Structure 1
Amino acid sequence: MNHNTPLSHTPHSPRPLRHLSHVQRRVLTTAQLRAHGVSAAETNEQCRPGGPWQQFLPGVYLLHPGPPTTEERLHAVLMFAARSPVQSAPAIPVQPGAEAPHAPQPYADALITGLAALTLHGFTSAPPLLSLDKIDVLVPRMRRLRSTGSARIVRTPSLPTPTYITGVPVAPVPRALADAVAELSDANAVRRLLTEAVRGGHCEPAAVVRELTQAKLLSLPHVVDAVDSLLAEGRSIAEDRLYRMVQEFGLPDPVWNVDLRLPGGPHLGGLDAYWPEQAVAVELDTRAPRQDEDALWSEYARKREHLERLGITVVYITPKKLRDTMEQQATVVRTALMASNDRDPAAYVVVLPR
């Protein structure tokens, strides 16, 4: 019997169950079976040793004897973890031979996270789903669930908004990364995942560091090393985007990566781009949200205030804005350059390579 063999009446079956052969997936909960008119006794009979069904997780059944498909594993884990009102909804029937739709499935309070989620997001450095012994599923902290079988329960004070991939609710990349890193001790594996998150354009470094901080993972040396590499990678990508913005939108060439000093006076700070004639500066805001975020922001604010007292306009741009709204950021810089004609001349400063 294979996965596509219709269920039919057998000598051991208390009643014909042929009507279940056309459900969307051949994995159902106890409540869904009951909604289809299948009693607990009938379910137990079908799951006898050598029978046509099997119990895959508590309250979740595969309607075939072989190993589950990847899709079945994902949905079985979600069915196990989701709150019962959604579990009780009947499966959607489809016509024989028709492809099951990938519409979002309404699993209440349950998301796929960790390595499985990263694989669904398209990470090449995450393992194939079939090779994972456990699938992490994110649930609210107050849920009374325990990890069992292939379902590993991960708790959170509040569930993030899911992304739906082939109908499966999946945690956002930063949260999925944090949950994956929590289970990894291999420094190279952690570094590969974090690097792909940034290089692949899945998310910005600051979002990753925020999740790792909340998960209290930045006390682990192999995670700290990977984060340092991540931040360096993120800054390099942001600098490349800044160069491209100046070129693609026809801004005048600035001087790049400079330090400013008052003549014979103190150091004023480093800048990513500076237009001396217009006294306009751009600085990439690549702060990572760690415990000292407030102190670091105060340093940014003091620097900006000092420069603006000297008549220098400072434009702060985040890597995310550069990635998502480059044209808008170019307009902001162009406006600052044009407005320089209406301002009093800036104080003279010494511009040095950084």
Structure 2
Amino acid sequence: MTQNTPPSPHTVAAVRHRVQSAAQLRARGVTAAQTAAQCLPGGPWQQLLPGVFLLHSGRATDEDRVHGALLYGGRPPAAARRGVPAQAGPGYGEAMVTGLAALALYGFASAPPTIALHRIDVLVPRTRRLRSTRFVQVTRAAVLPRPQRRSGVPLAPVERALADTVSALTDASTVRRILTEAVRGGHCEPAAVVRELNAAKLLGRPHVVDAVDALLVEGRSVAEGRLYEMVRTHGLPEPLWNVELSLPGGRVLGGVDAYWPEQAVALELGTRSPREDGVVFAADREHLERLGVTVVRVTPAQLREVMAQQAVVPRTAMMAAEDREPAAYVVVLPR
């Protein structure tokens, strides 16, 4: 497996053929005694993990280890638990790869597979009775997230994989590099990462707090770049960028990321910390709109995923300005 290159469907199919769980072998008519005989010294098979077998005698590849880890973490099919032969298949159950190994499979340059796949974190339900063993680290969750699939491999969402990675790291520069790549590479938004880190009770660690500060700065820079692109690509009038609005007497009304003074339309990016974002925006918006200024909000995720649709929002507000009463006079200053 090369860096940033997911396994092909053909490779995945081959891996599933050569790495099998005990339940899958039984479904094919291979008894436990026959499996044990095949795994004797000098035999053609080997035991990769408890209950998981490598059907060749060579060295396990990264793909073998990932598939094996998921088979180990996956719950056997319900039919097999009732004593009915299981159907041959992936057998992953609810298990998914998380942590540094998941980031490697997402293509993070800061998590090269040659290093990350030496330890594979597998996320399973909290009720699973399963121990970490060999190269597999078991992580439990009361509520499992919906996995993302890469060439058939179930991965925890990036923000969850980041939290599980950070929980095992103590080096501040490594944490900062991984979190920054997540945002710069467009894998996820800062707010989602902060929520996961907070849920994992990691925001009390000094090196994590410092990395989060850098993450928010990076996230804002990326979002501003997308906002500039939206304005110029979709033919919006050039606004006044990153300004502060105030009353003539000096009372500050709030800062906005773009302002069209002729139409009295202001735009704010949703890049504040999740704890203050909603409250602060609501207060600023209510104050400005009492003065006749229309305030619209665009989130970084919306700019990334549906930029064209978001360009319609300020354009519509500017068109509607023709039918409104003129806004109160406000002072515009650089922020």
**TM-score for both structures, normalised by structure 2:** 0.90
- Over aligned residues, Cα RMSD in angstroms? 1.8
- What does residue 300 of structure 2 align with? 319
Q: 1:59 aligns with which of 36, 47, 51?
A: 51
- What does residue 251 of structure 2 align with? 266
Q: Which amino acid aligns with 1:319?
A: P
Check conservation: 2:77, 2:91, Cα contact below 8 A. no
- What does residue 158 of structure 1 align with? 143
- What does residue 84 of structure 1 align with? 76
Larger CA Rg, structure 1 vs 2: 1
Q: 1:23 to 1:263 in 2, by over 3 A?
A: closer
Secondary structure at the residue paired with 2:130? coil
- What does residue 37 of structure 1 align with? 29
Q: 1:69 aligns with which of 61, 65, 83?
A: 61
- What does residue 204 of structure 2 align with? 219
Distance in 1, matches of 2:334 and 2:115, equals 52
Distance in 1, matches of 2:290 and 2:163, equals 42
Check conservation: 1:278, 1:337, Cα contact below 8 A. yes
Q: CA deviation at 1:205?
A: 1.0
Structure ranking higher in helix proportion: 2
Distance in 2, matches of 1:36 and 1:297, equals 56
Q: CA deviation at 1:130?
A: 6.0
Distance in 1, matches of 2:156 and 2:220, equals 25
Distance in 2, matches of 1:253 and 1:41, equals 75
- What does residue 101 of structure 2 align with? 116
Secondary structure at the residue paired with 2:17? coil
Q: Which amino acid aligns with 2:334?
A: P
Q: 1:27 aligns with which of 5, 16, 19?
A: 19
Distance in 2, matches of 1:239 and 1:80, equals 44
Distance in 2, matches of 1:199 and 1:296, equals 21
Q: What is the correspondence of 1:12-23 to structure 2 with a 5 Å cutoff?
A: none
Q: What is the correspondence of 1:171-320 to structure 2 with a 5 Å cutoff?
A: 171-289=156-274, 293=275, 295-320=276-301
Residue 329 of structure 1 pairs with residue 307 of structure 2: no
Secondary structure at the residue paired with 2:47? strand
* Identical aligned residues as a percent: 64
**TM-score for both structures, normalised by structure 1:** 0.85
Distance in 2, matches of 1:130 and 1:302, equals 48
Partner deviation per Cα, 1:15-55 (whole Å, 9 max, x = no partner) = xxxxxxx9942121112222222222222222222322221
Q: Which amino acid aligns with 1:254?
A: P
Q: Which amino acid aligns with 2:266?
A: A
Check conservation: 2:97, 2:121, Cα contact below 8 A. yes
Partner deviation per Cα, 1:81-117 (whole Å, 9 max, x = no partner) = 111117874546xxxxxxxxxxxx4521100111111
Distance in 2, matches of 1:273 and 1:31, equals 60
Check conservation: 1:25, 1:91, Cα contact below 8 A. no
Distance in 1, matches of 2:305 and 2:91, equals 30
- What does residue 146 of structure 1 align with? 131
How many aligned positions are there? Answer: 317
Check conservation: 1:210, 1:288, Cα contact below 8 A. no
Q: Which amino acid aligns with 1:221?
A: P
Q: CA deviation at 1:232?
A: 0.4
Q: CA deviation at 1:65?
A: 2.2
Check conservation: 2:302, 2:310, Cα contact below 8 A. yes
Distance in 2, matches of 1:196 and 1:159, equals 24
- What does residue 167 of structure 1 align with? 152
